[in-house]
A and B are shown apart, each in its own frame.
Chain A
Amino acid sequence: MSATDVMTERSFYAKVLEATPSGERLRLCLECGNCSGICPFGYLMLYPPSRMIAMMRADRINKVVETDTVWMCVSCYACTAVCPSKIPLTPGLMAGIKEELILAGNVPAELQSALANSQRYGNPQGESPRKRADWTLGIQPEVRIMAKHKQSVDVLWFVGDYASYHPRVQAATKALAKVLNALGVDFGILGPDETSDGDSQRLAGERGLFEMLAEKNGKALGRYQFNQIITTDPHAYNAIKNEYPALGISYPVQHYTEFLAERIDVLKLLMKQQISAKITYHDPCYLGRANGIFDPPRDLLCAIPGVELVEMTHNHTNSLCCGGGGGGMWLDGFQWEKAHVRLSDWRVREAMNAGADVLAVACPYETPRFEDAAKTMPGAEALKVRDIAELLAEALGV
């Protein structure tokens, strides 16, 4: 198709430069190959990041667009974190090449439907936008929906797609609502006014869709009065913190674990229930590696009476990916066909090896992914996957 026929090293570079802060660092590649080595699926890519840059330099980037193994990239930031030249590989190179694949029509069908759903319904699952706040039913005190509440709140909670609609993740969402209520936080949600944060769609190469979704959220947020945003989802946190400001949407934002860690003294006084368990914590890519938030989630876990925190082999910056990022949530079938292995299996195995009873998570992608892995992995049947919010709610007895 036309978009790729004319793509040259120069035009691709210009695109990356336009879309990504520090995009010009793409020129500084040393060809050390660290990126391709640390990539969890690099061994399956015909053109892992360093080879892709080599192809770009040889003005043969068109060849890369004809292949489909770029869709193995889960935007986990591992390559970006190890690059000695500090090239924004994940948001620049990988998202940039995925955009070219999308423009050329080289998109796996399952990803296509998630993108089309995001366009039409504002969420990748294709759920009714009118039902976005249905999870709040039965929670007391009632979760306030801004359009109905018509007053300012202290905290605007950006709930996100999976936290709003996914039946398993809804349990964690309800738990967080109860924790916020227990702390007496003055909060509200956008409900049907909320749209997908768009971050994973952006990292899957659909920048135009990301901008469209961000604009919708910007308009919705602009209608209400609040002091700060908290998010359930690290991807939403990343988008609102690092990407929305360039589109003129600028608010102070915290991930819920940061927000709660600031109130840890009050939480400690309120937590009465003991949770006697060895717990290991999985650093979500977009909380840890991409945004440097490692301690608040661990502090919260250690504050729960009875908890013993153990670390897995890969932790902090070196954490493994659950496999859901950058479109991975919508490429399970495609990636299984190529790999016959799931990144979530790998993580669950590490949790078992660490001797953990509970694998604690802080991202809505992870609970269902790790639970599915634990169900299918021999010996992992007893491993429980719990969102930090669920553990806190249990300790609070709410």
Chain B
Amino acid sequence: MNIVVLIKLVPDLVEELTIDSGGAGLDLTFARWIINEFDDHALEQGILLKERHGGTVTVVAPDLEGADDVLFTAAAKDADRLIKVKGDFTMANNHALARAFSAIIKDLQADLILTGVQAHNDLDGSAGPLLAECLQLPYVGYVSGVAVNDGKSTIRKEYPGGLLAEMEVALPTVLGIQAAEQPPRYVAVSKVRQAMKTSSIEELDASDLNPDGAAEIGRMFQPEAAAHAEMIEGSPEEVSAKLVGLFKELGVL
């Protein structure tokens, strides 16, 4: 089985975020990039499937600072092929990312394409469904378990309220991983360093970073303090009487 894991790098929230002078985006000049947490789960799920069914895991990541570390760490976890997509991804939205990655993933002839269900910088929808659209493949999101047999996958999908659905999806397909079946594994630094010596990163050019189709961002701003809550004091009777009065005043009663 040929598994492809798509990894997004996102600004690390350990560092404070600032808005750029244009007021419609982040100032990413000094951003530190980190693997999107859900993509780490997608990678773990890919490795788990490889351990169960054999096959290969190919990891694809955009060329941002830290991409090499992310890819070599994936190799230390037993990923087989590492691809870094070259291009200026600093400001690329998910529409651009999906178009660029789909061109590369098409050639990989994947049976299963795994990616995180979301990322904190998804301002134009999550990457998975956009990628599936570009590839004309089915997509299932919020996946927390995958089994594969006879060219089909059985997916466990999470719904709000603690509901789970199990569904069959024909391969190839794109899955948005909510959680891998076990937490992403830790790999010792010695293993990562070994992977840096023994594995290599292929560099492929992004054909096109076309952001069209996304909603335009009017303004980006830090949360602003608005009017404060009014505390109603008094005995329970007094408080309820005041509340009723307030509701009538506001026209909801």
By a beta-carbon cutoff of 8 Å, the part of chain A in contact with chain B is 99, 102-103, 105, 107, 109, 112, 115-116, 119-121, 126-128, 130, 206-209, 211-212
Contacts and interface: CB of A to CB of B under 8 A. Distances in A.
Interface stretch (B166-174, B185-193, B242-250): B185-193
B188 A209 contact: yes
Contacts of B15: 128, 130
B86 to A, nearest CB: 24
B183 A206 contact: no
Contacts of A127: 14
A207 B188 CA distance: 9
Contacts of B190: 103, 207-208
B34 interface: yes
9 contacts: A103-B190, A105-B185, A119-B189, A121-B14, A126-B14, A128-B14, A128-B16, A208-B188, A208-B189
Interface string B180-216: 0001011011111100000000000000000000000
Nearest to B66: A120
A102 B14 contact: no
A206 B189 contact: yes
Given A109-B183, A120-B34, A209 B14 contact: no
Contacts of A209: 188-189
Contacts of A105: 185-186
A366 B62 CA distance: 44
Contacts of B188: 99, 102-103, 206, 208-209
Given A126-B14, A128-B14, A130-B15, A116 B189 contact: no
Nearest to A119: B189
Contacts of A128: 14-16
A128 B188 CA distance: 22
B191 A116 contact: no
Given A128-B14, A208-B188, 5 more contacts: A102-B188, A103-B190, A103-B191, A208-B189, A208-B190
Contacts of B189: 119, 206, 208-209, 211-212
Contacts of A115: 186
Contacts of B193: 208
Contacts of B185: 105
- Quick one: which of B34, B186, B190 has the most chain A CB within 10 A? B186
Contacts of A103: 188, 190-191
A209 B188 CA distance: 7
A116 B188 CA distance: 9
A225 B193 CA distance: 31
Interface in B19-68: 34
A128 B183 CA distance: 24
A174 B146 CA distance: 52
Contacts of A120: 34
A107 B183 CA distance: 11
Nearest to A107: B186
Nearest to A115: B186
A204 to B, nearest CB: 11
B188 to A, nearest CB: 5
B128 to A, nearest CB: 25
Nearest to A126: B14
B249 to A, nearest CB: 45
Nearest to B15: A128
A279 B159 CA distance: 58
A206 B188 CA distance: 7
Contacts of A102: 186, 188
A206 B193 CA distance: 13
Nearest to A130: B15
A398 B90 CA distance: 49
B13 to A, nearest CB: 10
Contacts of B34: 120
Contacts of B16: 128
A137 B52 CA distance: 54
Nearest to A210: B189
Nearest to A99: B188
A112 B44 CA distance: 15
A121 to B, nearest CB: 7
A249 B191 CA distance: 24
Nearest to A127: B14
A119 B188 CA distance: 10
B186 A116 contact: yes
B17 to A, nearest CB: 12
Contacts of A121: 14
B193 to A, nearest CB: 6
A221 B56 CA distance: 43
A322 B192 CA distance: 33
Contacts of B186: 102, 105, 107, 112, 115-116
